[in-house]
Amino acid sequence: MWWRRGFLILALVLFSAKANARGAFETYGDVAAVAIPAIAGAVAISHNDGEGLARLTTAYTVSVAVTDGLKRVVRRLRPDGSNDLSFPSGHATRAFAGASYLHCRYGFTRAIPAYIAAVAVAASRVDADKHHWSDVIAAALLAHAIACAVTEPLAS
């Protein structure tokens, strides 16, 4: 499967580059939060699944909008004290929107690599002291609920 090679290439690029002051794991989270939905889009394109691509776009856009709105209403202080936009995690929302879309559209088995990568994104945010565990768990649940609400399984 070519998309599995995409995850491998992403990992090689991230871990072969010099780690910046923030650290390689945090950099992984920044890149993978965008790469996971992008790879999900590439999977839809590889299946000539225009309908699925539209549903991914909807799932991603709605998830990010709801997350951004909640951040401004909840105003939870980040563990590092940098601001009050901790809840829910935007990085985890983006990563899980892509992974959950793959699950809801193509089945759980095909989404396993994306879920593993998304969990690593969530862990990177906690490790970087940008989020509490509850921030990333809420983001994962929110993105999953929205992705599955707007995505129908692809007919075999």
- Domains of the chain listed by start with CATH number: 26-150 (1.20.144.10)
Of 1-15, 18-32, 52-66, 80-94, the one with minimum mean pLDDT is: 1-15
CA–CA gap between residue 93 and residue 150 (Å, rounded) = 15
Count other C-beta atoms under 10 Å from residue 7's C-beta: 18
Q: Which residue has the higher pLDDT, 2 or 59?
A: 59
Position 155 scores a pLDDT of 78
CA–CA gap between residue 132 and residue 56 (Å, rounded) = 27
Give this prediction's pTM: 0.87
pLDDT 10s digits, 47-90? 999 999 999 999 999 999 999 999 999 999 999 999 999 999 99
Closest to 55 (Cα-Cα) out of 40, 69, 68, 70:
40
